[in-house]
Amino acid sequence: MLSPATITRAAMALIESRGYPGLTMAGLARQLRVAPSALYNHAASKRDVLRWVQDRVNQDVDAGGFPALPWDEALVRWARSYRDIYALHAPLVAVIAVTPITGAPHTVAMYEQVARGLRTGGWPEDEVVAVITAVESFVLGSALDATAPPDIFEVGELAPQAPVFDAATRARSTADPARDAFELGLAALVEGLRARLAAAPARDA
């Protein structure tokens, strides 16, 4: 009774319990009480399984602010949700970059919502994808950064060569520096987008 849907479900359960290192074809087969080779009747490769997982994950990203809210508010809500979810699925970040969205219905639905919201907000058609890509790049980079160990910027014995940077790391408010950096960058990015749209308003809406 194997199918893409059941395989995806098992993969999500495996990731939940053992993390991404535990997501092996053998582990997946064991979870499904089947021989590893049986999986290859439904998935051409492990990459296929990762594509299914990615689409399932994207289903949970909140693009629901569009188009009711102003585009900038909805964009912030989308970006926050996107980052928080991929911080829990960091190994998927590298997969996204290389994987065409064909056959990933939830992913396509997400992009459609955002694209509609941007168009409604006054963005010209030929800039919509660039805006989405720019925000997504920031979000995925920030998701990776969110998985960094707290001591990532510890310069250690090299401190004498980097006094200014070292002092700056110590001057941070300590609670959640990754989130602070994300919020600072997101606010700046959206502010800059607002300025761009205001400077060159809708040409084709």
Q: Which stretch binds a copy of itself (CB under 8 A): 31-39, 52-60, 71-79, 139-147?
A: 139-147
Distance of alpha carbon 119 from alpha carbon 107, whole angstroms: 18
Binding range to a copy of itself, per CB under 8 A, among 4-12, 39-47, 52-60, 185-193: 185-193
Q: How far is the CB of 34 from DNA (least distance, A)?
A: 4
Mark 174-199 as b/e (b = at least 16 C-beta within 10 Å).
eeebbbeebbebbeebbeebeeebee
Residue 189 Cα distances to 126, 135, 146, angstroms? 19, 8, 18
Rounded Cα–Cα distance for residues 197 and 75 (Å):
14
12 vs 181, beta carbon nearer DNA: 12
Residue 202 in contact with DNA, rule: CB under 7 A:
no
Q: Which stretch binds a copy of itself (CB under 8 A): 2-10, 27-35, 55-63, 100-108?
A: 100-108
**What is the DSSP-derived secondary structure letter of residue 22?**
G
Q: Is 37 in the site for DNA (CB under 7 A)?
A: yes
Q: For the CB of residue 7, give the shortest distance to DNA in the complex, in Å.
A: 10
- Give residue 77's Cα distance to chain centre: 13
Binding track, positions 118-137, relative to a copy of itself; x by CB under 8 A: -x-----xxxxxxx-xxxxx
